[in-house]
């Protein structure tokens, strides 16, 4: 009795599955040609866009919450249009955007980690803003890395929303205690290692020479790539399809860090640090020097901080021009109003009156020496290094570098925590992912 019942139930289920399958199959077929190709529709809007009291939606990810809130509040106060901001946890952002893109539910405006922008533009998530961006009188002063990341087939889709640069930060109080010159950061990786060891040698409880996120691909990309660039080397080929992270320069960077790790001068929790607390040690004053995000300058208080570009093994300085780009989504019905927000965002009012006032980096080089930067020489340093920095462009960037199980993470962990003999093999694995 039992057996027969299960069988009929099974057949009923099979029949149901079949019927529903046909239905869904039809539905899926009719939807398939909706969103194909990268030719996002071009936005038609005047140079200033439209300000008619429309409600616009904007998504951004949590690390840029502070800047996004300030910008949105200032815009809402001075315009008829109102922007509704949604802040999404960092780890969920790609999934949320992906789901919304599939169902046609993207907000009017959304920001994207600049390293994902090339792929998202290619997938057609952003509308074409070429005519509007070309119409800006200060176009040449807009951060080149961000503009380039959002350009596909000569069409521009994305403007810089918030710039986040990786810089060398050092704790001047700890430098003084260790007998180092508090006004001068290390000029190359050798000095960086020596300074970290000097601070470690103080033997202060809970205090370490340096820190990083050895289980956080994004942190390592952000803070270690500049060391390679500083020596004039590259991390990938121009197309972003081949990894060059086994160059002599890169190997020298890994061995400096291996030396630091083996000598115990690195905050021990760095080994498992997957991202959430990777800056906490320095912010709490427990770490002597660190490659650190410049957006956190305004929240690093309680001790005196020195700022410089990230040095390479032989010297020089560079930075990772990260942060988020922003564009009008393919699903927006209010493109002219959305452009009004973007146009205002690039204006001096927003760049200086909101971002620079909050000690953030401006995304226009012609505004680098503004009234707020003049008060704090560290901001001038950051703005100057920004011009020397780089933004890597690759379609499979997330999978190759940022993902929790990326081959880049394997490379770094083997090179720094292991014996360092597998860099070439691990680099091939990165290339394999990049070239897919």
Rounded to the nearest whole angstrom, what is the least distance from the CB of residue 33 to another protein in the complex? 9
Query: Site residues (CB under 8 A) for another protein?
Result: 2, 5-6, 9, 12-13, 16-17, 20-21, 24-25, 28, 31-32, 34-36, 94-95, 97-99, 101-102, 119-120, 123-125, 215, 267-269, 271-274, 277, 280-281, 396, 398-400, 402-406, 410, 413
Smaller CB separation from another protein, 27 or 374: 27
Q: Which two tokens stand for residue 171?
A: 């704790």
Answer yes or no: are the C-beta atoms of 82 and 76 closer than 8 Å. yes
- Nearest residue (CB) to another protein, 229 versus 254: 254
Residue among 35 and 247 whose Cβ is closer to another protein: 35
| Cβ-based nearer residue to another protein, 76 or 410 | 410
Of 143, 204, 148, give the one whose Cα is nearest residue 171.
204
Q: C-beta of 202: minimal distance to another protein in Å?
A: 17
- Tell me how many degrees the CA angle 413-169-179 measures, rounded to the nearest 5: 105
Least separation, in Å, of the C-beta of 6 and another protein?
Answer: 7
Closest contact distance (angstroms) between CB of 179 and another protein is: 26
State how beta strands 315-318 and 310-312 pair. Answer: antiparallel
Beta strand ranges found along 265-381 (DSSP E): 287-293, 305-308, 310-312, 315-318, 321-328
Q: CA 281, CA 272: separation in Å to the nearest integer?
A: 14
Report the alpha-carbon distance of residue 366 to residue 355 in Å, rounded: 14
Name the H helices within 232-308.
248-262, 280-283
The answer to whether 391 touches 321, Cβ cutoff 8 Å, is: yes
State which residue, 305 or 395, has the beta carbon closest to another protein: 395
For residues 24 and 194, which CB has a smaller minimum distance to another protein in the complex? Answer: 24
CB of 80 to another protein, least distance (A): 33
Spatial CA neighbour of 173 closest among 297, 301, 277 = 301
In angstroms, give the least distance from the CB of 30 to another protein.
Answer: 10
Q: What does the block give as tokens for 291?
A: 């490659």
């Amino acid at each position: 009795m039992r057996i027969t019942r299960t069988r009929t139930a099974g057949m009923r289920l099979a029949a149901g599955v079949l019927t529903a399958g046909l239905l869904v199959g039809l539905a899926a077929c009719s939807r398939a040609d909706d969103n194909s190709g990268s030719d996002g529709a071009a936005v038609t809007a005047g140079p200033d866009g439209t300000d008619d009291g429309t409600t616009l939606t904007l998504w951004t990810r949590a690390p840029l919450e502070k800047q996004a809130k300030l910008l949105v509040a200032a815009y809402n106060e001075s315009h008829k249009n109102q922007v509704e901001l949604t802040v999404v946890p960092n780890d969920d952002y790609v999934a949320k955007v992906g789901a919304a893109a599939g169902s046609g539910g993207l907000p009017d405006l959304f920001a994207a980690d600049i390293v994902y922008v090339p792929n998202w533009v290619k997938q057609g998530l952003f509308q074409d803003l070429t005519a509007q961006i070309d119409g800006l009188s200060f176009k040449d002063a807009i951060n080149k890395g961000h503009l380039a990341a959002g350009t596909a087939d000569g069409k521009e889709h994305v403007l810089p929303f918030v710039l986040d640069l990786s810089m060398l930060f050092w704790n001047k109080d700890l430098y003084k205690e260790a007998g180092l010159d508090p006004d001068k950061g290390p000029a190359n990786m050798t000095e960086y290692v020596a300074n970290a060891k000097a601070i470690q040698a103080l033997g202060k409880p809970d205090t370490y020479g340096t820190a990083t996120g050895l289980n956080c691909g994004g942190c390592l990309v952000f803070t270690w790539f500049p060391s390679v660039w500083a020596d004039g080397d590259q991390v990938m080929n121009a197309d972003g399809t081949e990894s060059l992270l086994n160059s002599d320069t890169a190997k020298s960077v890994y061995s400096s860090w291996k030396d630091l790790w083996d000598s115990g001068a690195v905050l021990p929790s760095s080994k498992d640090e997957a991202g959430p607390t990777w800056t906490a040690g320095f912010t709490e004053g427990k770490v002597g020097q660190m490659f650190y995000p410049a957006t956190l300058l305004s929240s690093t208080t309680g001790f005196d901080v020195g700022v410089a570009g990230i040095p390479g093994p032989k010297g020089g300085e560079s930075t990772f021009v990260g942060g988020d780009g922003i564009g009008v989504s393919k699903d927006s019905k209010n493109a002219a109003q959305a452009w009004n927000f973007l146009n205002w965002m690039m204006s001096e009012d927003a760049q200086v009156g909101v971002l620079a006032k909050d000690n953030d980096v401006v995304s226009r080089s012609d505004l680098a020496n503004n009234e707020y930067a003049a008060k704090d020489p560290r901001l001038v340093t950051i703005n100057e290094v920004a011009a020397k920095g780089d933004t890597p462009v690759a379609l499979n960037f997330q999978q190759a570098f940022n993902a929790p199980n990326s081959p880049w993470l394997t490379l770094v962990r083997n090179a720094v925590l292991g014996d360092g003999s597998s860099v070439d093999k691990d680099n091939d694995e990165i290339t394999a992912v990049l070239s897919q």
